[in-house]
Structure 1
Amino acid sequence: MMRYLLATAALAFAVPAAADNHELPSAEAFAATHAEAMSGAINHPSRADDRARDQYRHPAETLAFFRVAPDMKVGEYAPGGGWYTRVLGHYLGGEGKLVGLYFDPASGPFNDETQQGIRAGATGFAAKTAESTGLPAANFSAFTLDAVPEGEAGTFDRVVVIRMLHNMMRWNNADSEIKAMRGLLKPGGMLGIVQHRAPAEATAEYADGSKGYLRQDDVVGYIEALGFEFVGSSEVNANPADSADYPEGVWEMPPSLRTKRDDLKDKGESDRMTLLFRKRD
Protein backbone atom coordinates (compact mmCIF):
# COMPACT_ATOMS: atom_id res chain seq x y z
CA MET A 1 0.00 0.00 0.00
CA MET A 2 2.65 2.53 0.98
CA ARG A 3 4.72 1.71 -2.13
CA TYR A 4 1.66 2.66 -4.16
CA LEU A 5 1.13 5.77 -2.06
CA LEU A 6 4.69 6.94 -2.56
CA ALA A 7 4.58 6.22 -6.27
CA THR A 8 1.38 8.17 -6.80
CA ALA A 9 2.65 11.03 -4.63
CA ALA A 10 4.92 11.99 -7.49
CA LEU A 11 1.77 12.94 -9.41
CA ALA A 12 0.64 15.43 -6.78
CA PHE A 13 0.50 19.14 -7.41
CA ALA A 14 1.95 21.55 -4.85
CA VAL A 15 -0.57 22.00 -2.05
CA PRO A 16 -1.43 25.65 -1.34
CA ALA A 17 -1.85 26.88 2.22
CA ALA A 18 -5.51 27.43 1.46
CA ALA A 19 -7.47 27.14 -1.75
CA ASP A 20 -11.07 27.30 -2.88
CA ASN A 21 -12.39 26.13 -6.23
CA HIS A 22 -13.90 29.08 -8.10
CA GLU A 23 -17.13 27.12 -8.61
CA LEU A 24 -17.69 27.01 -4.85
CA PRO A 25 -18.61 29.80 -2.46
CA SER A 26 -15.79 30.71 -0.13
CA ALA A 27 -15.73 28.82 3.16
CA GLU A 28 -16.38 32.10 4.96
CA ALA A 29 -19.44 32.92 2.84
CA PHE A 30 -20.70 29.36 3.24
CA ALA A 31 -20.30 29.57 7.01
CA ALA A 32 -22.22 32.84 7.14
CA THR A 33 -25.08 31.37 5.11
CA HIS A 34 -25.48 28.42 7.47
CA ALA A 35 -24.40 30.08 10.71
CA GLU A 36 -27.71 29.58 12.52
CA ALA A 37 -27.91 25.85 11.80
CA MET A 38 -24.28 25.33 12.73
CA SER A 39 -24.56 27.33 15.93
CA GLY A 40 -27.52 25.22 16.98
CA ALA A 41 -25.54 22.04 16.34
CA ILE A 42 -22.34 23.18 18.05
CA ASN A 43 -24.14 24.50 21.11
CA HIS A 44 -26.62 21.70 21.59
CA PRO A 45 -26.71 20.40 25.19
CA SER A 46 -25.90 16.86 24.05
CA ARG A 47 -22.41 18.13 23.18
CA ALA A 48 -21.64 19.45 26.66
CA ASP A 49 -18.86 16.89 27.18
CA ASP A 50 -17.54 17.31 23.61
CA ARG A 51 -17.19 21.07 23.59
CA ALA A 52 -13.78 21.23 25.27
CA ARG A 53 -12.21 19.78 22.11
CA ASP A 54 -13.83 22.30 19.74
CA GLN A 55 -10.83 24.61 20.13
CA TYR A 56 -8.61 21.92 18.62
CA ARG A 57 -10.98 20.31 16.11
CA HIS A 58 -12.85 23.38 14.79
CA PRO A 59 -15.95 21.50 13.64
CA ALA A 60 -17.85 24.56 12.39
CA GLU A 61 -14.95 25.84 10.31
CA THR A 62 -14.09 22.35 9.06
CA LEU A 63 -17.61 21.58 7.86
CA ALA A 64 -17.84 25.02 6.25
CA PHE A 65 -14.62 24.31 4.37
CA PHE A 66 -16.10 21.00 3.24
CA ARG A 67 -19.21 22.99 2.14
CA VAL A 68 -21.52 20.69 4.07
CA ALA A 69 -25.03 22.20 3.96
CA PRO A 70 -27.83 21.27 6.40
CA ASP A 71 -29.95 19.68 3.64
CA MET A 72 -27.26 17.31 2.37
CA LYS A 73 -26.87 13.55 2.60
CA VAL A 74 -23.53 13.02 4.33
CA GLY A 75 -21.56 9.86 5.02
CA GLU A 76 -19.32 9.79 8.08
CA TYR A 77 -16.62 7.16 7.73
CA ALA A 78 -15.85 5.11 10.87
CA PRO A 79 -18.07 7.09 13.28
CA GLY A 80 -16.30 5.67 16.34
CA GLY A 81 -17.07 7.40 19.63
CA GLY A 82 -19.51 9.86 18.09
CA TRP A 83 -17.76 13.18 18.59
CA TYR A 84 -18.31 14.36 15.00
CA THR A 85 -21.51 12.31 14.77
CA ARG A 86 -23.21 14.54 17.31
CA VAL A 87 -22.25 17.71 15.42
CA LEU A 88 -23.39 16.29 12.10
CA GLY A 89 -26.51 14.76 13.58
CA HIS A 90 -27.83 18.08 14.83
CA TYR A 91 -26.60 20.06 11.84
CA LEU A 92 -28.34 17.68 9.40
CA GLY A 93 -31.23 16.95 11.75
CA GLY A 94 -33.80 18.91 9.78
CA GLU A 95 -33.66 18.39 6.02
CA GLY A 96 -30.43 16.41 5.78
CA LYS A 97 -29.41 12.81 6.39
CA LEU A 98 -26.43 11.35 8.24
CA VAL A 99 -25.21 7.88 7.29
CA GLY A 100 -22.53 6.00 9.20
CA LEU A 101 -20.09 4.30 6.84
CA TYR A 102 -18.37 1.36 8.52
CA PHE A 103 -15.30 -0.21 6.98
CA ASP A 104 -15.54 -3.52 5.20
CA PRO A 105 -14.98 -6.01 8.06
CA ALA A 106 -13.14 -8.42 5.77
CA SER A 107 -10.82 -5.77 4.33
CA GLY A 108 -8.37 -5.45 7.21
CA PRO A 109 -6.53 -7.54 9.79
CA PHE A 110 -9.67 -8.18 11.82
CA ASN A 111 -10.50 -11.47 13.52
CA ASP A 112 -14.00 -12.94 13.50
CA GLU A 113 -14.98 -11.28 16.77
CA THR A 114 -13.85 -7.85 15.55
CA GLN A 115 -15.64 -8.32 12.25
CA GLN A 116 -18.84 -9.12 14.10
CA GLY A 117 -18.33 -6.02 16.23
CA ILE A 118 -17.98 -3.83 13.13
CA ARG A 119 -21.23 -5.18 11.69
CA ALA A 120 -22.96 -4.74 15.05
CA GLY A 121 -21.75 -1.14 15.16
CA ALA A 122 -23.39 -0.43 11.81
CA THR A 123 -26.60 -2.17 12.85
CA GLY A 124 -26.80 -0.20 16.10
CA PHE A 125 -25.67 3.17 14.74
CA ALA A 126 -29.10 4.74 14.35
CA ALA A 127 -30.29 3.79 17.83
CA LYS A 128 -27.00 4.76 19.48
CA THR A 129 -26.90 8.13 17.73
CA ALA A 130 -30.53 8.82 18.55
CA GLU A 131 -29.77 8.16 22.21
CA SER A 132 -26.70 10.43 22.28
CA THR A 133 -28.32 13.30 20.35
CA GLY A 134 -31.96 13.09 21.42
CA LEU A 135 -32.98 13.01 17.76
CA PRO A 136 -35.21 10.39 16.10
CA ALA A 137 -33.47 7.20 15.03
CA ALA A 138 -35.12 7.65 11.62
CA ASN A 139 -32.71 10.54 11.00
CA PHE A 140 -29.82 8.09 10.80
CA SER A 141 -28.75 4.95 8.99
CA ALA A 142 -25.52 3.01 8.51
CA PHE A 143 -23.95 0.13 6.62
CA THR A 144 -20.60 -1.52 6.04
CA LEU A 145 -18.87 -0.75 2.77
CA ASP A 146 -18.99 -4.39 1.67
CA ALA A 147 -22.78 -4.37 1.90
CA VAL A 148 -23.95 -1.12 0.30
CA PRO A 149 -27.75 -1.26 0.13
CA GLU A 150 -29.43 -1.08 -3.25
CA GLY A 151 -30.13 2.48 -4.29
CA GLU A 152 -27.39 4.10 -2.15
CA ALA A 153 -24.72 4.38 -4.87
CA GLY A 154 -24.39 7.85 -6.31
CA THR A 155 -26.70 9.50 -3.75
CA PHE A 156 -24.31 11.16 -1.27
CA ASP A 157 -23.43 14.86 -1.41
CA ARG A 158 -20.45 14.54 0.93
CA VAL A 159 -18.36 11.89 2.64
CA VAL A 160 -16.05 12.89 5.49
CA VAL A 161 -13.06 10.91 6.74
CA ILE A 162 -11.88 12.32 10.07
CA ARG A 163 -8.49 11.18 11.39
CA MET A 164 -8.84 7.70 9.89
CA LEU A 165 -6.74 7.60 6.73
CA HIS A 166 -3.63 6.49 8.63
CA ASN A 167 -5.52 3.45 9.90
CA MET A 168 -6.62 2.60 6.38
CA MET A 169 -2.98 2.74 5.31
CA ARG A 170 -1.92 0.53 8.20
CA TRP A 171 -4.66 -1.98 7.41
CA ASN A 172 -3.92 -1.98 3.66
CA ASN A 173 -7.54 -1.27 2.81
CA ALA A 174 -7.35 2.40 1.78
CA ASP A 175 -7.70 1.64 -1.94
CA SER A 176 -10.87 -0.40 -1.63
CA GLU A 177 -12.44 1.81 1.04
CA ILE A 178 -11.85 5.09 -0.81
CA LYS A 179 -13.13 3.55 -4.05
CA ALA A 180 -16.26 2.38 -2.24
CA MET A 181 -16.83 5.88 -0.86
CA ARG A 182 -16.30 7.34 -4.32
CA GLY A 183 -19.06 5.06 -5.61
CA LEU A 184 -21.46 6.47 -3.03
CA LEU A 185 -20.93 10.08 -4.08
CA LYS A 186 -23.09 11.87 -6.60
CA PRO A 187 -21.38 13.21 -9.74
CA GLY A 188 -19.41 16.16 -8.42
CA GLY A 189 -19.90 15.04 -4.82
CA MET A 190 -17.02 15.77 -2.48
CA LEU A 191 -14.77 13.93 -0.05
CA GLY A 192 -13.45 15.80 2.99
CA ILE A 193 -10.41 14.52 4.87
CA VAL A 194 -8.90 15.59 8.19
CA GLN A 195 -5.66 13.78 8.92
CA HIS A 196 -2.69 13.99 11.29
CA ARG A 197 0.09 15.66 9.26
CA ALA A 198 3.74 14.65 9.14
CA PRO A 199 6.35 17.25 8.19
CA ALA A 200 7.11 17.35 4.48
CA GLU A 201 10.66 16.20 5.27
CA ALA A 202 9.54 13.19 7.34
CA THR A 203 10.81 9.85 6.11
CA ALA A 204 8.49 7.52 4.24
CA GLU A 205 8.93 4.99 7.04
CA TYR A 206 7.73 7.45 9.68
CA ALA A 207 4.87 8.76 7.52
CA ASP A 208 3.44 5.40 6.43
CA GLY A 209 0.51 5.57 8.87
CA SER A 210 2.09 3.43 11.59
CA LYS A 211 2.77 6.56 13.67
CA GLY A 212 -0.60 8.11 12.83
CA TYR A 213 0.96 10.78 10.60
CA LEU A 214 0.94 11.11 6.80
CA ARG A 215 2.60 13.67 4.53
CA GLN A 216 0.17 16.07 2.91
CA ASP A 217 1.54 15.90 -0.63
CA ASP A 218 1.40 12.10 -0.46
CA VAL A 219 -2.26 12.18 0.55
CA VAL A 220 -3.22 14.61 -2.20
CA GLY A 221 -1.50 12.54 -4.89
CA TYR A 222 -2.95 9.32 -3.55
CA ILE A 223 -6.57 10.49 -3.44
CA GLU A 224 -6.24 12.07 -6.89
CA ALA A 225 -5.04 8.73 -8.24
CA LEU A 226 -8.24 7.10 -6.95
CA GLY A 227 -10.52 9.25 -9.10
CA PHE A 228 -10.75 12.60 -7.36
CA GLU A 229 -9.91 16.19 -8.24
CA PHE A 230 -8.13 18.17 -5.52
CA VAL A 231 -10.28 21.18 -4.61
CA GLY A 232 -8.21 22.75 -1.87
CA SER A 233 -6.68 22.71 1.58
CA SER A 234 -7.27 24.66 4.76
CA GLU A 235 -5.04 25.33 7.74
CA VAL A 236 -7.97 25.54 10.14
CA ASN A 237 -6.78 22.42 12.00
CA ALA A 238 -3.07 23.22 11.88
CA ASN A 239 -1.03 23.15 15.08
CA PRO A 240 2.55 24.46 14.74
CA ALA A 241 3.27 23.30 18.31
CA ASP A 242 3.12 19.67 17.16
CA SER A 243 6.57 18.59 15.97
CA ALA A 244 5.09 15.28 14.72
CA ASP A 245 8.27 13.33 15.35
CA TYR A 246 7.48 11.24 18.42
CA PRO A 247 8.81 7.69 18.80
CA GLU A 248 5.30 6.39 19.56
CA GLY A 249 3.62 8.66 17.07
CA VAL A 250 0.57 10.86 17.34
CA TRP A 251 -0.66 8.99 20.41
CA GLU A 252 1.93 10.82 22.51
CA MET A 253 -0.06 14.02 21.86
CA PRO A 254 -3.31 14.94 23.65
CA PRO A 255 -5.86 13.57 24.14
CA SER A 256 -4.15 10.13 24.24
CA LEU A 257 -0.94 11.19 26.04
CA ARG A 258 0.28 7.61 25.82
CA THR A 259 3.73 8.35 27.21
CA LYS A 260 2.47 10.97 29.71
CA ARG A 261 5.09 13.52 28.69
CA ASP A 262 4.60 16.70 30.69
CA ASP A 263 5.96 18.83 27.84
CA LEU A 264 3.13 17.73 25.53
CA LYS A 265 0.16 18.16 27.86
CA ASP A 266 -0.46 21.77 26.85
CA LYS A 267 0.43 21.48 23.14
CA GLY A 268 -3.16 20.98 21.96
CA GLU A 269 -4.00 18.15 19.58
CA SER A 270 -2.02 17.06 16.52
CA ASP A 271 -1.17 19.19 13.53
CA ARG A 272 -3.79 18.26 10.92
CA MET A 273 -4.27 18.72 7.22
CA THR A 274 -7.80 19.54 6.07
CA LEU A 275 -8.36 18.58 2.45
CA LEU A 276 -11.28 18.67 0.04
CA PHE A 277 -11.66 16.57 -3.12
CA ARG A 278 -14.33 16.35 -5.82
CA LYS A 279 -15.34 13.11 -7.49
CA ARG A 280 -14.18 13.07 -11.10
CA ASP A 281 -16.49 11.73 -13.81
Structure 2
Amino acid sequence: MRTKLKASILFIASFLTGCSDKPDTPEAEANIYQKAVYYNELRPAADKARDERRKPVEVLAFSGVKPGDKVIDLLGGGGYYTELLSHVVGADGHVYLVNSPLFVNFTKDQIAERLANNRLKNVTRIDGPWNALGMPENADVIFIVLGYHDIYVPRPNNPDFEADPDAFFEQIHASLKPGGKVLVIDHAAANGTGNEHASTLHRIDEAFAKQDFEKRGFVLVKELDVLRNPNDDFTKDIWKKGIMHLTDRFIHLYEKPLNN
Protein backbone atom coordinates (compact mmCIF):
# COMPACT_ATOMS: atom_id res chain seq x y z
CA MET A 1 0.00 0.00 0.00
CA ARG A 2 2.84 2.39 0.90
CA THR A 3 4.59 1.55 -2.34
CA LYS A 4 1.50 2.41 -4.39
CA LEU A 5 0.99 5.67 -2.50
CA LYS A 6 4.62 6.66 -2.96
CA ALA A 7 4.45 5.87 -6.66
CA SER A 8 1.31 7.96 -7.04
CA ILE A 9 2.91 10.93 -5.28
CA LEU A 10 6.02 10.71 -7.42
CA PHE A 11 3.89 10.41 -10.56
CA ILE A 12 1.98 13.60 -9.82
CA ALA A 13 5.06 15.50 -8.71
CA SER A 14 6.90 14.64 -11.89
CA PHE A 15 4.23 16.32 -13.95
CA LEU A 16 3.72 19.32 -11.73
CA THR A 17 7.31 20.30 -12.37
CA GLY A 18 8.32 21.74 -15.71
CA CYS A 19 4.70 22.27 -16.74
CA SER A 20 5.02 25.65 -18.41
CA ASP A 21 2.44 26.68 -20.95
CA LYS A 22 4.58 26.49 -24.12
CA PRO A 23 3.02 25.24 -27.36
CA ASP A 24 6.50 24.75 -28.81
CA THR A 25 7.37 22.03 -26.27
CA PRO A 26 8.61 19.04 -28.30
CA GLU A 27 6.22 16.12 -28.03
CA ALA A 28 9.00 13.80 -26.91
CA GLU A 29 9.62 16.08 -23.91
CA ALA A 30 5.98 16.92 -23.16
CA ASN A 31 4.22 15.68 -20.03
CA ILE A 32 0.71 14.21 -20.09
CA TYR A 33 -0.95 17.60 -19.64
CA GLN A 34 0.99 19.25 -22.45
CA LYS A 35 0.22 16.28 -24.68
CA ALA A 36 -3.49 16.58 -23.90
CA VAL A 37 -3.44 20.25 -24.85
CA TYR A 38 -0.91 20.49 -27.67
CA TYR A 39 -0.66 17.02 -29.18
CA ASN A 40 -4.25 15.82 -29.08
CA GLU A 41 -5.43 15.58 -32.68
CA LEU A 42 -9.06 15.22 -31.59
CA ARG A 43 -9.26 18.70 -30.10
CA PRO A 44 -11.47 21.17 -31.96
CA ALA A 45 -9.89 24.38 -33.24
CA ALA A 46 -12.37 26.42 -31.20
CA ASP A 47 -11.02 24.85 -28.01
CA LYS A 48 -7.43 25.58 -28.94
CA ALA A 49 -8.32 29.22 -29.51
CA ARG A 50 -9.35 29.44 -25.83
CA ASP A 51 -6.16 27.96 -24.41
CA GLU A 52 -4.23 31.21 -24.07
CA ARG A 53 -6.81 32.69 -21.70
CA ARG A 54 -7.58 29.49 -19.79
CA LYS A 55 -4.08 28.05 -19.13
CA PRO A 56 -5.22 24.41 -19.28
CA VAL A 57 -1.76 22.86 -18.93
CA GLU A 58 -1.22 24.55 -15.59
CA VAL A 59 -4.77 23.89 -14.42
CA LEU A 60 -4.66 20.19 -15.25
CA ALA A 61 -1.30 19.76 -13.55
CA PHE A 62 -2.54 21.67 -10.50
CA SER A 63 -5.55 19.33 -10.20
CA GLY A 64 -3.32 16.25 -10.04
CA VAL A 65 -5.64 14.27 -12.31
CA LYS A 66 -3.85 11.24 -13.73
CA PRO A 67 -4.37 8.25 -16.05
CA GLY A 68 -6.99 5.83 -14.74
CA ASP A 69 -8.87 8.42 -12.69
CA LYS A 70 -12.64 8.82 -12.52
CA VAL A 71 -13.33 12.52 -13.07
CA ILE A 72 -16.50 14.62 -13.12
CA ASP A 73 -16.66 17.80 -15.18
CA LEU A 74 -19.49 19.31 -13.13
CA LEU A 75 -21.46 22.09 -14.81
CA GLY A 76 -18.99 21.54 -17.62
CA GLY A 77 -21.22 23.13 -20.24
CA GLY A 78 -19.98 22.34 -23.73
CA GLY A 79 -17.11 20.23 -22.43
CA TYR A 80 -13.90 22.20 -22.96
CA TYR A 81 -12.31 20.47 -19.97
CA THR A 82 -14.12 17.21 -20.64
CA GLU A 83 -12.13 16.90 -23.85
CA LEU A 84 -8.82 17.44 -22.10
CA LEU A 85 -9.65 15.22 -19.15
CA SER A 86 -10.68 12.43 -21.49
CA HIS A 87 -7.19 12.45 -22.97
CA VAL A 88 -5.42 12.62 -19.59
CA VAL A 89 -7.30 9.78 -17.85
CA GLY A 90 -7.00 7.55 -20.92
CA ALA A 91 -8.67 4.23 -21.66
CA ASP A 92 -8.43 3.06 -18.05
CA GLY A 93 -10.13 6.17 -16.70
CA HIS A 94 -13.52 7.77 -17.23
CA VAL A 95 -14.95 11.28 -17.43
CA TYR A 96 -18.53 12.31 -16.69
CA LEU A 97 -19.82 15.54 -18.23
CA VAL A 98 -22.57 16.55 -15.81
CA ASN A 99 -24.90 19.48 -16.46
CA SER A 100 -27.99 20.94 -14.82
CA PRO A 101 -30.91 22.24 -16.95
CA LEU A 102 -29.41 25.74 -16.86
CA PHE A 103 -26.17 24.62 -18.49
CA VAL A 104 -27.87 22.26 -20.93
CA ASN A 105 -30.05 25.15 -22.06
CA PHE A 106 -27.04 27.24 -23.06
CA THR A 107 -24.70 24.54 -24.38
CA LYS A 108 -26.83 21.66 -25.67
CA ASP A 109 -25.61 22.06 -29.27
CA GLN A 110 -21.98 22.19 -28.15
CA ILE A 111 -22.43 19.09 -26.01
CA ALA A 112 -24.05 17.17 -28.84
CA GLU A 113 -21.29 18.12 -31.25
CA ARG A 114 -18.50 17.24 -28.84
CA LEU A 115 -19.89 13.79 -28.08
CA ALA A 116 -21.26 12.96 -31.53
CA ASN A 117 -20.55 9.49 -32.91
CA ASN A 118 -18.94 8.41 -29.63
CA ARG A 119 -15.82 10.42 -30.45
CA LEU A 120 -14.80 10.49 -26.77
CA LYS A 121 -15.20 6.86 -25.86
CA ASN A 122 -14.36 7.25 -22.18
CA VAL A 123 -16.89 10.04 -21.57
CA THR A 124 -20.44 9.69 -20.28
CA ARG A 125 -22.92 12.54 -20.55
CA ILE A 126 -25.26 13.10 -17.60
CA ASP A 127 -28.02 15.73 -17.64
CA GLY A 128 -30.01 16.00 -14.44
CA PRO A 129 -31.98 18.42 -12.28
CA TRP A 130 -30.00 20.51 -9.83
CA ASN A 131 -31.07 18.46 -6.83
CA ALA A 132 -30.51 15.06 -8.47
CA LEU A 133 -27.60 15.40 -10.88
CA GLY A 134 -26.91 11.68 -10.99
CA MET A 135 -23.18 11.83 -10.39
CA PRO A 136 -21.31 8.55 -9.89
CA GLU A 137 -19.68 7.59 -6.60
CA ASN A 138 -15.97 7.25 -5.78
CA ALA A 139 -14.83 10.05 -8.06
CA ASP A 140 -11.17 10.99 -7.81
CA VAL A 141 -11.55 14.59 -8.95
CA ILE A 142 -14.43 16.96 -9.62
CA PHE A 143 -13.91 20.05 -11.79
CA ILE A 144 -16.21 23.06 -11.32
CA VAL A 145 -15.03 25.66 -13.80
CA LEU A 146 -16.80 29.05 -13.85
CA GLY A 147 -20.07 27.52 -12.67
CA TYR A 148 -19.84 27.63 -8.89
CA HIS A 149 -21.32 31.15 -8.59
CA ASP A 150 -24.44 29.97 -10.45
CA ILE A 151 -25.64 27.98 -7.47
CA TYR A 152 -26.29 31.33 -5.79
CA VAL A 153 -28.29 32.94 -8.59
CA PRO A 154 -32.03 33.12 -7.80
CA ARG A 155 -34.25 32.37 -10.78
CA PRO A 156 -37.83 32.62 -9.54
CA ASN A 157 -39.23 32.72 -13.06
CA ASN A 158 -37.61 29.41 -13.95
CA PRO A 159 -37.26 27.16 -10.90
CA ASP A 160 -35.68 24.37 -12.97
CA PHE A 161 -32.69 26.66 -13.49
CA GLU A 162 -32.28 27.51 -9.80
CA ALA A 163 -30.00 25.50 -7.51
CA ASP A 164 -30.26 24.57 -3.86
CA PRO A 165 -26.70 25.13 -2.55
CA ASP A 166 -27.11 22.64 0.29
CA ALA A 167 -28.27 19.88 -2.06
CA PHE A 168 -25.50 20.75 -4.51
CA PHE A 169 -22.77 20.32 -1.92
CA GLU A 170 -24.33 17.17 -0.52
CA GLN A 171 -24.09 15.60 -3.98
CA ILE A 172 -20.45 16.60 -4.37
CA HIS A 173 -19.61 15.13 -0.99
CA ALA A 174 -21.44 11.88 -1.76
CA SER A 175 -19.80 11.55 -5.16
CA LEU A 176 -16.18 12.07 -4.10
CA LYS A 177 -14.16 9.24 -2.64
CA PRO A 178 -12.38 9.95 0.67
CA GLY A 179 -9.30 11.94 -0.24
CA GLY A 180 -10.89 13.04 -3.52
CA LYS A 181 -10.35 16.57 -4.80
CA VAL A 182 -12.56 19.41 -6.02
CA LEU A 183 -11.03 21.97 -8.36
CA VAL A 184 -12.88 25.30 -8.44
CA ILE A 185 -12.31 28.19 -10.83
CA ASP A 186 -14.48 31.28 -10.76
CA HIS A 187 -14.64 35.00 -11.45
CA ALA A 188 -13.58 36.96 -8.38
CA ALA A 189 -15.78 39.63 -6.82
CA ALA A 190 -14.75 42.47 -4.54
CA ASN A 191 -13.60 41.41 -1.08
CA GLY A 192 -16.38 41.25 1.47
CA THR A 193 -19.23 41.00 -1.04
CA GLY A 194 -19.97 37.33 -0.41
CA ASN A 195 -22.34 35.97 -3.04
CA GLU A 196 -24.32 39.18 -3.58
CA HIS A 197 -22.90 39.79 -7.07
CA ALA A 198 -23.44 36.24 -8.34
CA SER A 199 -26.61 37.18 -10.22
CA THR A 200 -25.75 40.74 -11.26
CA LEU A 201 -22.07 40.54 -12.19
CA HIS A 202 -21.60 36.74 -12.33
CA ARG A 203 -18.83 36.99 -9.76
CA ILE A 204 -18.28 35.60 -6.27
CA ASP A 205 -16.07 36.66 -3.39
CA GLU A 206 -13.04 34.40 -3.08
CA ALA A 207 -13.08 34.50 0.73
CA PHE A 208 -16.74 33.52 0.69
CA ALA A 209 -15.92 30.55 -1.56
CA LYS A 210 -13.28 29.31 0.87
CA GLN A 211 -15.62 29.58 3.83
CA ASP A 212 -18.41 27.96 1.84
CA PHE A 213 -16.42 24.86 0.94
CA GLU A 214 -14.81 24.56 4.34
CA LYS A 215 -18.11 24.71 6.22
CA ARG A 216 -19.35 21.89 3.98
CA GLY A 217 -16.53 19.65 5.18
CA PHE A 218 -13.88 20.25 2.51
CA VAL A 219 -10.30 21.31 3.19
CA LEU A 220 -8.47 23.86 1.04
CA VAL A 221 -5.29 22.18 -0.18
CA LYS A 222 -3.70 24.85 -2.36
CA GLU A 223 -4.30 27.77 -4.73
CA LEU A 224 -3.05 28.69 -8.19
CA ASP A 225 -2.58 32.24 -9.52
CA VAL A 226 -2.16 31.78 -13.29
CA LEU A 227 -5.57 33.33 -14.04
CA ARG A 228 -5.27 36.36 -11.76
CA ASN A 229 -5.73 39.85 -13.16
CA PRO A 230 -4.89 42.64 -10.69
CA ASN A 231 -6.31 45.19 -13.14
CA ASP A 232 -9.80 43.68 -13.17
CA ASP A 233 -12.65 46.06 -12.37
CA PHE A 234 -14.84 44.19 -9.89
CA THR A 235 -17.76 46.53 -10.58
CA LYS A 236 -18.14 45.22 -14.13
CA ASP A 237 -20.22 42.33 -15.38
CA ILE A 238 -17.94 39.57 -16.69
CA TRP A 239 -19.58 39.87 -20.13
CA LYS A 240 -18.77 43.57 -20.54
CA LYS A 241 -16.56 44.56 -23.44
CA GLY A 242 -12.97 45.01 -22.36
CA ILE A 243 -13.17 42.61 -19.43
CA MET A 244 -14.82 39.56 -21.01
CA HIS A 245 -12.40 36.61 -20.80
CA LEU A 246 -9.96 38.79 -18.83
CA THR A 247 -11.49 38.68 -15.36
CA ASP A 248 -9.55 38.02 -12.19
CA ARG A 249 -10.15 34.31 -11.56
CA PHE A 250 -9.26 32.33 -8.48
CA ILE A 251 -8.32 28.65 -8.63
CA HIS A 252 -8.75 26.49 -5.52
CA LEU A 253 -8.20 22.81 -4.88
CA TYR A 254 -10.21 21.27 -2.03
CA GLU A 255 -10.06 17.81 -0.55
CA LYS A 256 -12.66 15.56 1.02
CA PRO A 257 -10.90 14.31 4.19
CA LEU A 258 -10.17 10.60 4.45
CA ASN A 259 -12.27 10.31 7.58
CA ASN A 260 -15.18 12.36 6.26
Give the TM-score normalised by structure 1: 0.69
Of residues 37, 45, 54, the one that matches 1:42 is 37
* Aligned ranges 1:75-86 → 2 under 5 Å: 75-86=72-83
Q: Does 1:173 align with 2:164?
A: yes
The 1-side partners of 2:72 and 2:194 are apart by 30
Question: Paired residue for 1:193?
Answer: 184
Percent of matched pairs sharing the same residue = 24
Q: Does 1:63 align with 2:60?
A: yes
Q: Does 1:148 align with 2:125?
A: no
Report the 3-state secondary structure (helix = DSSP H, G, I; strand = E; otherwise coil) of the residue aligned with 1:160.
Answer: strand
* Aligned ranges 1:81-92 → 2 under 5 Å: 81-92=78-89
The structural deviation recorded for 1:100 is 1.6
- Structure 1 residues 26 and 233, CA, compared in 2 at 3 Å: closer, same or farther? farther
Of residues 218, 224, 231, the one that matches 2:221 is 231
Q: Which amino acid aligns with 1:41?
A: A
Q: Does 1:274 align with 2:241?
A: no
- Structure 1 residues 28 and 53, CA, compared in 2 at 3 Å: closer, same or farther? farther
Of residues 212, 222, 241, the one that matches 2:202 is 212
The 1-side partners of 2:251 and 2:118 are apart by 26
The 1-side partners of 2:216 and 2:93 are apart by 27
Cα RMSD over matched residues?
Answer: 3.2
Aligned 8 A contact 1:93 1:135 in 2: no
Deviations 1:142-177 (A, max 9, x none): 33361637xx32x10000100001111113422211
The 2-side partners of 1:172 and 1:94 are apart by 33
- Structure 1 residues 147 and 200, CA, compared in 2 at 3 Å: closer, same or farther? closer
156-165 or 84-93, which deviates more:
84-93
Q: Which amino acid aligns with 1:75?
A: I
Report the 3-state secondary structure (helix = DSSP H, G, I; strand = E; otherwise coil) of the residue aligned with 1:195.
Answer: strand
- Structure 1 residues 207 and 59, CA, compared in 2 at 3 Å: closer, same or farther? same
Give the TM-score normalised by structure 2: 0.74
Question: Paired residue for 1:160?
Answer: 143
Q: Which amino acid aligns with 2:169?
A: I
> Where do 5+ consecutive residues of structure 2 fail to align?
1-7, 20-29, 154-161
Aligned residues: 226
The 1-side partners of 2:250 and 2:12 are apart by 16
- Structure 1 residues 133 and 210, CA, compared in 2 at 3 Å: closer, same or farther? farther
- Structure 1 residues 129 and 216, CA, compared in 2 at 3 Å: closer, same or farther? same
> Where do 5+ consecutive residues of structure 1 fail to align?
1-22, 258-263
Aligned 8 A contact 1:162 1:193 in 2: yes
Aligned 8 A contact 2:194 2:208 in 1: no
Question: Paired residue for 1:13?
Answer: none
Question: Paired residue for 1:240?
Answer: 230
The 1-side partners of 2:218 and 2:95 are apart by 22
231-240 or 166-175, which deviates more:
166-175
Q: Which amino acid aligns with 2:166?
A: D
The structural deviation recorded for 1:184 is 0.5
Q: Which amino acid aligns with 2:144?
A: V
Higher relative contact order, chain-length normalized (CA < 8 Å, sep 6+): 1
The 2-side partners of 1:86 and 1:272 are apart by 21
- Structure 1 residues 31 and 211, CA, compared in 2 at 3 Å: closer, same or farther? same
Aligned 8 A contact 1:99 1:142 in 2: yes
